Structure 1
Amino acid sequence: MKTAAAAISISASIRVIGLLAILVSLVFVFDDPLARAELSAHQVMLVANANSPDSLMVAEHYALRRGISPQSIAKLDLPLADTMSREDYERRLVAPLRQAIIAQGLHKSIRVIVTVYGVPLRVAAPRLTDDEERWRRDAADRLGAARVRLEALERRAGAIARNSATAPAVAQAENPIAYERNIAFLLRIDEAVRDSAKRVGQLKPPADAPWSARLEAVVRDHQGVAGLSQLRHEFPRKGQESESDAATQMRAQQAEGLQLLLGSVALPIRDRRAELYRQVEQIYGVYGVFGLAAMELNQLSDEYADASVDSELSLLWWDRSLYATGWRRENPLHHAAKKSGGSRREIPVLMVSRLDAATADLASRLVDRAMEAERQGVAGTVYLDARGLPVKGPSDTYGRYDQSLRDLHQFVTQRTTYRSQLDNTEARFQRPGDAPDVALYAGWYRLRQYEDAFTFQPGAIGYHMASAEAVSLHGSEETGWCKNALDRGITATLGSVGEPYLDAFPEPLEFAALLLTGQYSLVESYYLTSRWVSWRMVLVGDPLYNPWKNNAAAKRSALTMFPLAPVAPSDQAFADPLLAKDDVKRVQSQSRIRLDAILRNQTRTGEAS
């Protein structure tokens, strides 16, 4: 398992609005604590493979057991292999599934998609069209040229107002993907320019004059006339007159233009590319060129662009042009996700779970065992396999997840009547009989080698945090955790179809605590504690499964690991996806028109001055 500490820090902080803040200094509403969230059958849509009688059987069995209308089974012409191409995914899965939901008028009510045995498990990275490949090459050329200029600017900035002409060397940040590295590089250059401005600001006349002139030349090259305007606003020269209303309005317009450029304009740029880049460079400097090119390349990237079908289906209502398939996307249903403000409708994200196993019969039994556990409860012991790793700091993902296992042990011991057995060493539950009565399991770490130490009670839930433990659920030679736990009777599990990075897993304390209150179903607990969608994770089990709903193992008030108990996704506002998508496309179109007007006005103003 690879650590995602660097990815967390960059992904959490460097977003479009973060890029804006570099240049320009420009609550959650929770439910009644007594309210009870519960998904219902009318909020579920099933996806089955019409080419597999076994797939149809599993879907029909689930619909019958859960009281779901047979019309809510989308029987699609899908490949029989575990992996499908991106083209097949869009043409044979997404398009007909949307059509089936819309035709029944269910697009405003469906919250959950259930894929079943026979539906492909993975979607491959997309292939670029000829136009997209041409735009990608153009953006790459612009990015490369801008990088050379920015490195030169960094050296120039580092030499300003220093005793030595040589600036200290700064190491390039290591990040998993090119976009993250590009943004880290852009931040590094920005910091060098800001530092030079601070040094000049500390000088007294007349020593500051020559350095001020050199600083202005660097800032103009770096961030264009917008950066120069901001510099003069933040560091006014002695004796400089107060900023005029016209200058204030100009800066406000420059900030608006940058926000549109980095936040609302459709990418990649499809028309008048050369003109737009030329205007961007004049107004926002090489910084703007580099940032725009980096964002275009991210949109067109095939880097880490494969995913589980289920995670990708969370974005069922999102057209491919509306999000980058490379890497992963923040899950807006995660309990800590920032809610977007304003009145604009956001395209909703769906929750997706899978009824799958080595055979159709085993897949069907997932709902049978779930419903049995809902009637009789889940007996047994909680087994937690930590490694004794200390938490070395906020960015120590390994330490944080290991601590979460220890915290869950404490939570179970103090807040529930379950017995909890914690192994806090590098040893694992690995020998037959080590875990004879599993109600709940979470632990790590042995890679793709299931250890037959577990006997799962009816209704048992568990997952093993290691890479690619769900790479296959069917192969007879598959050694991963998920397939083998399903063979042995686990009722719900989760894992990854490829290297996910550790932070893709729900933190054990958060995930288990939500379930134990009985206030959240399996799929809700998963989506409230999973950071990413359009990624490599998969949840296997009945999404409606809620074994503690009639007899809570822990009180809702025990959820002190959250600032406030999260609102169940089924209780959160859900926009009409068709209207929301129209909103986004309309905003993108209007944003380009407004951006063009701002750039033309700023260009004329700059030429006149």
Structure 2
Amino acid sequence: MKLFDLKIAAQQISSWLVMGWAIAFTNSTGDAAERNDTFVVAALDNEDSQRVAAEFCQAFEIPQTNILSLNFPAGDQLSRTAWEDELRPQVVAWLNENDSESKIANVITVYGTPLAVAAWEDERETKPWRDFYAKALDARLGQINQSIEKLAEIAGQPVAAEPTAEATLADMRKQFDDSVAAAQQSISSLKFDQLKTAKATLQSQVRIVAGLYPFLGSLKNESESGSTEAARANEQFHYLRGRTEALAQAAELMDRVPASFEREATILQLLERNGGLLSAIGWLKRQQKMVEENDSAASLDSELALVLWPKYRRLGTTPNLLHPAFETSPLRSVYRTLSVTRIDGPTPESALALIERATEATKIESLSGKVYVDLRGATGNDATANRKERWLQSVASQFKSVENIDAVVESTAELFPVDGCPDTMLYCGWYSLEKYIDSFTFKPGAIAYHLTPGDALGIHDSDNQGWCRNLIEKGATVVVGSVGRPEIVGFSSLDPKQKRVHPVALSSGMIVFGIDGLTPADPDDSGVGK
């Protein structure tokens, strides 16, 4: 599934920025009963997976009984059918049996468990959504055709070929604009009574099909004309602009609610009230494309985060309710979301090294070092590239504004050079596909995120030259990767002791390798796991 596109402005990031990790344990000391907020998922018949799971539990005082071993098939890709029909029910059953008081909040996946859940092989999910969007589109095409017929009546012309579901949005818009132009031309010859009725019909159909924006442009021009009506037009312009902004924000907020047929119907109503039928049709066509592309692949970690949700859409986007944007949202109590991180790497030893780094990181009072942000200097029309650039620029800007943090920004198409980034505590960058550059000397607790598509899928490939594999091997304590299309993450505060990274969305392919926030067991203690 693709990542949820939550637009984070610079001022929002400032309240969310934290150097750290995606998982926080509430207790730094205590016995087994106090550590029952976490369970570990391992591969049943994989000795290395079992060893990493046991080492983690021993180091962090997690009861060995909190290891859930599943019979995963070999390989880093797990079929969607195997997950939904066989493995997911086992996880739910285990939680129902072992977590009757709903204390578990965290999941650790370890070396040997699959990285990704593949897309659907059948239509159990795609068909209901395909039918829903098709019916919604047909209804709106019928409304547009009715509007075109009314405009043709005003123009005294026969109706042109009506738009079909196969027509592009641009073609629909042009046909409607041509119909409006023809109607406007014929109106000038009408008598007063006929003129008044025709104008009212024309305005009504423009509002239904094209929304508020044509009127907004007209009012702006009138307000700047210097005419006697300019002041009134200016007042109406500001009122209408406020309304369009409110409707747009409402539609965006609805996108942060877990997907359902009811949510989609509400979004359609908001889009129609703002941008008319054409806006709703454009959105519907994008949703249809998502369904036809079967955009249902995800990381196993994302699916585990949602394993307690009784129902959710496996297509498209799923907002991460653990993100600070939902701090006060009652949705958290309805959709119980687990925080998932992974102890994994190119080899079992690499995974064990992540545990050691997390242990070392707990000994430091706060993170120290430099922040390195690598932009691409993108200036073209690629919306995805520009959005990533804006996010990285916001991250750089916020760190530069914080006292005692040295933020180094590469804003050209060049990469940071080999050995050019000493004392790294945070690195963010996003290009040089499958070509890692050994630029960094990582400090204890360091975080690294390179936004490369599917980069995490290469961590177990010895020939892989990607960033995720190498960032783990080269010493970062926390590495953010993706098994699909990468996206931005949220950093929740500048307090180094909170140590949190929040993916904007789940069921999106995001993986966070490495953990912190839980004090390791004292080696001289006789606690759990010894």
Taking structure 1 as the reference length, the TM-score comes to 0.58
Structure 2 letter corresponding to 1:124? A
- Who is 2:349 aligned against? 361
Tell me, in whole angstroms, the C-alpha distance in 2 between the residues paired with 1:153 and 1:60: 67
Partner deviation per Cα, 1:559-585 (whole Å, 9 max, x = no partner): xxxxxxxxxxxxxxxxxxxxxxxxxxx
1:208-247 aligned within 5 A:
208-209=196-197
Tell me, in whole angstroms, the C-alpha distance in 2 between the residues paired with 1:391 and 1:545: 44
- Who is 1:385 aligned against? 374
Determine if the alignment matches structure 1 residue 305 to structure 2 residue 296. Answer: yes
Contact 1:157 1:218 in 2 (8 A): no
Tell me, in whole angstroms, the C-alpha distance in 2 between the residues paired with 1:165 and 1:492: 66
Partner deviation per Cα, 1:39-97 (whole Å, 9 max, x = no partner): 34432111111121111111111111111111211111111210000111123432111
Moved more, 57-66 or 401-410: 401-410
1:106 CA displacement: 4.8
Q: Work out which structure has the larger RCO, using CA pairs closer than 8 Å and 6 or more positions apart in sequence.
A: 2
- Who is 2:495 aligned against? 517
Residues 71/440 of structure 1: CA separation in 2 closer, same or farther (3 Å cut): same
Tell me, in whole angstroms, the C-alpha distance in 1 between the residues paired with 2:329 and 2:129: 30
1:415 CA displacement: 2.3
Determine if the alignment matches structure 1 residue 534 to structure 2 residue 507. Answer: yes
Residue 470 (structure 1) aligned to one of 442, 452, 456: 456
Residue 152 (structure 1) aligned to one of 141, 145, 148: 145
Determine if the alignment matches structure 1 residue 410 to structure 2 residue 410. Answer: no
Tell me, in whole angstroms, the C-alpha distance in 2 between the residues paired with 1:51 and 1:303: 32
Tell me, in whole angstroms, the C-alpha distance in 2 between the residues paired with 1:437 and 1:299: 42
1:157 CA displacement: 6.1
Contact 1:44 1:112 in 2 (8 A): yes
Tell me, in whole angstroms, the C-alpha distance in 1 between the residues paired with 2:72 and 2:261: 34
Tell me, in whole angstroms, the C-alpha distance in 1 between the residues paired with 2:410 and 2:356: 31
1:98 CA displacement: 1.5
- Who is 1:422 aligned against? 409
Residue 391 (structure 2) aligned to one of 391, 398, 401: 401
- Who is 2:98 aligned against? 104
Determine if the alignment matches structure 1 residue 336 to structure 2 residue 325. Answer: yes
1:448 CA displacement: 1.8
Structure 1 unpaired stretches of 5+: 13-29, 31-36, 173-177, 223-258, 269-285, 548-609
Contact 2:426 2:446 in 1 (8 A): yes
Structure 2 unpaired stretches of 5+: 10-14, 16-23, 28-34, 211-253, 265-276, 521-530
Taking structure 2 as the reference length, the TM-score comes to 0.65
Residues 398/152 of structure 1: CA separation in 2 closer, same or farther (3 Å cut): same
Tell me, in whole angstroms, the C-alpha distance in 2 between the residues paired with 1:384 and 1:266: 40
Q: How many residues align?
A: 428
Tell me, in whole angstroms, the C-alpha distance in 1 between the residues paired with 2:40 and 2:473: 23
Residue 308 (structure 2) aligned to one of 314, 317, 324: 317
Tell me, in whole angstroms, the C-alpha distance in 2 between the residues paired with 1:49 and 1:90: 17
Percent identical: 27
Residue 359 (structure 2) aligned to one of 368, 371, 378: 371
Tell me, in whole angstroms, the C-alpha distance in 2 between the residues paired with 1:388 and 1:219: 40
Structure 2 letter corresponding to 1:303? N
1:177-188 aligned within 5 A:
none
1:151 CA displacement: 4.8
Tell me, in whole angstroms, the C-alpha distance in 2 between the residues paired with 1:126 and 1:120: 16
Contact 2:357 2:445 in 1 (8 A): yes
1:62-77 aligned within 5 A:
62-77=56-71
Tell me, in whole angstroms, the C-alpha distance in 2 between the residues paired with 1:146 and 1:465: 40
1:144 CA displacement: 6.8
Contact 1:46 1:74 in 2 (8 A): yes
1:155 CA displacement: 3.0
Determine if the alignment matches structure 1 residue 61 to structure 2 residue 61. Answer: no
Tell me, in whole angstroms, the C-alpha distance in 2 between the residues paired with 1:375 and 1:123: 36
Tell me, in whole angstroms, the C-alpha distance in 2 between the residues paired with 1:384 and 1:141: 43
- Who is 1:495 aligned against? 481
Q: Secondary structure at the match of 1:325?
A: coil
1:128 CA displacement: 2.6
